[in-house]
Chain A
Amino acid sequence: MLTADLVRPRLRQRGSELYIDMLNTSDPYWLQTATELIALFQRHIDQTQATWDKALEAYEGERIDYFTIRGLAKVLTDAATFAPLATSLPAPQLRERLFAHGPIFASPHLFHPQIRDDVIRSAANELGIPPEQIEETLFADRPATYLLTDAGPEWTPESLVARYNLELARGVLYWANIVQIEVHGGYKDVWKYLKFFKLMFWVRSQHDGYIIDLDGPISPFVSATMRYGRQFAAFLPALLLCEQWRMVASIRSPQSQTLCTYRLDHTSSSLETHFRPSGPFDSRLEADFACEFEEKFGSKRGKWVLTREDEVLVLGDTVMIPDFALTHKDNGQRILIELVGFWHPDYLRRKVEKVRAAQCRNLLLLVYEGVNLAAEALQDVPGEVLYFKNKPVLKEVMAVVEKMASRVYDPSLQ
């Protein structure tokens, strides 16, 4: 991510609205700059970071848009790897040894017959390495002497500029205290990343989507903390995985120090995410279950259609997304299925709390019987619980599904 000083110059304020001045991805001027920077960076593979820094400074020259050049370069270096030179002797150890002789001089003096060359040469002899290696090792642990070992992904000028734009959008959120997002469709990964970046969220359903308020644990207790800005910024690319989304962030403008609004949505720009959408299944168990269902009850063979994670149970400060939903082809009745496999006790505890909180009558829990979960823990769960040994027995599952459906959807019990 960009440093704040690289974001600030591109911030614009109009009234209480904040904007970020992104680069036009088809502007030949910036595509030319991006092309040159990528080439320059490629030429610095196996060279030190200090050499690269110097080359970048030379490239900037007297250009006044140097902070944009630095931003583009930051995108390049963030995705690249600079690694310390592998030395046979740790650098601090060598320093300890040599510095015991200092201060030392290049030529001999009356009280200093020993010169720098002598010290280096005798250390080299004792250690059995050439003197040049001594010089190389001396500060090999300084980041400035790290070598560019991997220049990162294959950038095109367009992809570099696009990524820089995304980093600018993320950068605005450094100064955010609350972010509200609205998602419609393809939001599966949003939940995953919200948890991954440890954001606190609060969810409300809204026709075909959700409104999610984001802040952090301490936010309600301090006015407008910017403590979570970096987490919002880290999360932003996940939002771009959704089909339709909107974001409104409350920002304390670093220039005017006033509270402003920053808006972004799926139409507002050519932003592209570099986060990958996750695959359809999270475990073998789930994949096998879906596969077996298709074989035995799939297409025309049965009355039920199996879908994957298509319903979100909103529980306020968290959500539960059952692994599968079965929808009846004729009457649209739905039974949700959650597979409880082999997980950490903490996970199970939270899972049980969620199942209770959901108060969902059409939820079927398939629980691995070896799991460390006492039956009492699930005794007053509103749905049904079915235990299994190795994998769920589909025949048993479908029997329970039928029974649940008739009970849940029985008009006499409504």
Chain B
Amino acid sequence: MLLKQHEENDNGKQVREASSVPAFASGKVQGHPQGQCHYPVAIRTNICYYTHMSKRVSFQGGTLVLYNIDGETSPPRPFRLVKERWRCEGYHYGSIQPYLQEEDIHDAVPRWKALNLTMQDTREAHDYQLEALVAWNDAGCCGSIVLPTGAGKTFLAIQAIQQVNRSTVVVAPTIDLLHQWYARLVNAFACEVGVYYGGEKKILPLTVTTYHSAGDLMADYGNTFKLIIFDEVHHLPAPSWGEAALMSPAPMRLGLTATYPEAHEQSNGRWRVEDLIGPIVYTKRIEDLVGQQLANYRTQRIRIDLSPEERARYDSDHAIYIEFVRSRQLQRRYGPGWLMELMRLSALDPQARRAFLARQRLLRLLASCEGKYTTLEALLQEHDTEQVLIFTEHNATVYDIARRHLVPAITHETHAAERKQILESFRTGHYRAIVTSRVLNEGVDVPEAKVAIVLGGTSGAREYIQRLGRVLRKVENKQAFLYEVIARKTLDEGKAQRRRRNIQKAD
């Protein structure tokens, strides 16, 4: 029969066809029970697996499903009869334990393992970190911890993982943070760590994923993790981001955040953080901790000129672009969404299409104009003995610079292990420079640098400049530098201004 090739077991993974030679042919001979079969045959078998169909609960695609339950008594809430089986969401796994035991239902859910980790990080925990951990334990290892930014939430999570010592998955909001967690966990435990997101999928007993990919991971492998940690747990009420928490049967759950969502902020979502993670078990306010030290650096703007040939190309493309945008009054009519409108129009109106292409060409030109390369070279020579971070928006430019100057590149293509190696080699001074198109998030695993060079960029780069601020440190008496290289009389200038305004507003 056809279905057998695609039978699935309870885990939803495909069962491979057994080989045509039975592996159990060498079993002991057992008499066939009398009177139950009209045909006198002996059955060779090792174990009789399925003498009766026992009651059991299994994990299926983020749900818990009861099998072989008699029809007389209905299982209690949260189970619901859906398509002739009693089912509930994965996150109820902890709360249905008493019912399973009472009814003697075989628990086929857990697939988690012991981790046997050894902590390599010898830093001592702060008092408040220890308090938080105790509070989480007292709450049955379910709940959220609220700590201000920079108070060592990652370190706390690492302590929790070591203490639980069972398969754990960490869910982070962005790929950058995923990489950061990866690096921190590898360093903390000197073990292999899995990553699961669009770019790489490698599942290990200790795995890091993103909110975006966590749903898929939970659907297929939810029951392989006993502890689930949500970094920036305030993201959970978002409709698609909460699904992973809903589907995970992990009985131990830890939420981390600096800004726990207010009740009214959670009402838009389909669930509340408490329902999925447990209550807030510990809070520490920023006033209670030492204030953050702001970096000491100086911003230097360097203006370059386009070459005559570049200027000509720029001017002609700029004319095409700006004429269309002005004639249609896109900015006035559509406000911040004007660029989306231009993109929409470019599939309908040949003039819009030409304007959009012109804009694309001039942004590429600004990213790779010769003057910026020349200035970069001069700056690299000027800061010959210092650690330098180079930022540019376009991937092509990143790899161009990496090739020209033989410096390591970090982009969305860079895998977790190499990214970690690059950052560490930079930290130890083995590498002197890094060129990147990514926001190097949060101070923790971004090495300190004396010099940062920003080659153009968008006005939306406000965040990365801010974050860069944390990276740049005054060492001894020498000031740190942030260079902004912009092309004179181009879109760069307006952007740099908007960026500056944004930074001042944020400060």
Task: Kindly list chain A residues whose C-beta atoms are within 8 Å of the C-beta of B418.
Answer: 92
Q: Known: A102-B407, A111-B384. Contact between A221 and B63, CB under 8 A? A: yes
Q: Is the interface of B mostly helix, strand, loop or mixed?
A: loop
Judged by a CB distance under 8 angstroms, whether A154 is at the interface is no
Given A338-B1, A347-B7, do A370 and B22 touch, yes or no (CB 8 Å)?
yes
List B21-74 residues whose CB lies under 8 Å from chain A.
21-22, 24-25, 32-33, 36-37, 39, 41-53, 60-63, 65, 67
CB <8 Å contact, A103 and B406: yes
Tell me whether B43 and A192 are in contact (CB under 8 A).
no
Could you tell me if B61 and A217 are in contact, using CB atoms closer than 8 angstroms? yes
**CB of A374 closer than 8 Å to a CB of B:** yes
CB distance from A197 to the nearest CB of B (A): 9
Does A276 count as interface, using CB distance less than 8 angstroms? no
**Closest chain A residue to B47, Cβ basis:** A372
Q: Is B333 located at the chain interface by the 8 A CB criterion?
A: no
Which of A138-146, A162-170, A178-186, A290-298 makes up part of the contact surface? Answer: A138-146
Report A-chain residues with C-beta under 8 Å of the C-beta of B43: 369, 373-375, 387
Q: Are B350 and A62 within 8 A (Cβ)?
A: yes
Q: Please count the residue pairs between chain A and chain B whose beta carbons lie under 8 angstroms apart in the complex.
A: 228
Q: Is the CB of A192 within 8 A of B2?
A: yes
Q: A269-305 interface mask toward B, CB cutoff 8 Å, 1 = contact, 0 = none?
A: 0000000001000101010000000000000000000
Which of A31-39, A40-48, A81-89, A350-358 forms part of the interface with chain B?
Answer: A350-358
User: A119, B406: Cβ atoms under 8 Å?
Assistant: yes
Stretch at the interface among A22-30, A259-267, A317-325: A317-325
Which residues of chain B are near A200, meaning CB under 8 Å?
61, 83
CA distance A351 to B405 in the complex (A): 64
Q: Which residues of A contact B421 (CB under 8 A)?
A: 96
Q: Does A112 contact B (CB under 8 A)?
A: yes
**Contact A221–B246 (Cβ < 8 Å):** yes
| Number of B residues with CB within 8 Å of any CB on chain A | 90
Asked if B332 CB lies within 8 Å of chain A CBs, one says: no
Quick one: CB contact mask for A180-221 with B, threshold 8 Å, 1 for yes? 000000001101100110101010000000000000111011
Q: Bound state CA distance, A379 and B38, in angstroms?
A: 11
* A104 touching B52 in the complex, CB below 8 Å, given contacts A347-B15, A369-B43: no
Given A102-B405, A342-B20, A370-B25: A192 in contact with B5 (beta carbons within 8 A): yes
Chain B residue numbers with a CB within 8 Å of A102 are 405-408, 431-433
B124 within 8 A of A: no
- The main secondary structure of chain A at its interface with chain B is mixed
The residue on B at minimum CB distance from A61 is: B357
B4 contacts the other chain (CB 8 A): yes
Size bin of chain A's contact surface: 35 or more
Partner of B50, one of A101, A322, A349: A349
Bound: A178/B405 CA distance, A:
54
Q: Identify which of residues 295-325 in chain B touch chain A, using a CB-to-CB cut-off of 8 Å.
A: none
A residues in contact with B416, CB < 8 Å: none
B114-122, B258-266, B341-349, B462-470: which lies at the interface:
B341-349
Find A191's partner among B2, B39, B52 (CB 8 Å cutoff): B2
In Å, the complex CA distance between A112 and B431 comes to 16
Instruction: Say whether B3 contacts A103, CB under 8 Å.
Output: no
Query: Is there a chain A Cβ closer than 8 Å to B243's Cβ?
Result: yes
Is the CB of B506 closer than 8 A to any CB of chain A? no
Q: A221's contact among B36, B47, B89, B350, by CB below 8 Å, is which?
A: B89
Q: Is the CB of B1 within 8 A of A322?
A: yes
Q: Report the bound CA distance from A250 to B381 in whole Å.
A: 61
315-348 of chain A: CB within 8 A of chain B: 316-317, 319-323, 338-339, 342-348
15 pairs of residues in contact across A and B, judged by CB atoms under 8 Å: A63-B353, A99-B408, A99-B431, A102-B431, A103-B407, A116-B405, A143-B413, A202-B83, A222-B243, A346-B7, A347-B4, A350-B7, A375-B33, A377-B48, A387-B39
Given A96-B421, A282-B5, A284-B20, 14 more A-B residue pairs with CB atoms under 8 Å apart are: A64-B349, A99-B407, A103-B406, A105-B381, A195-B8, A198-B12, A217-B63, A221-B63, A309-B1, A342-B21, A345-B50, A372-B47, A373-B45, A377-B48
Interface pairs A-B: 3 shortest CB-CB: A217-B61, A374-B48, A102-B406
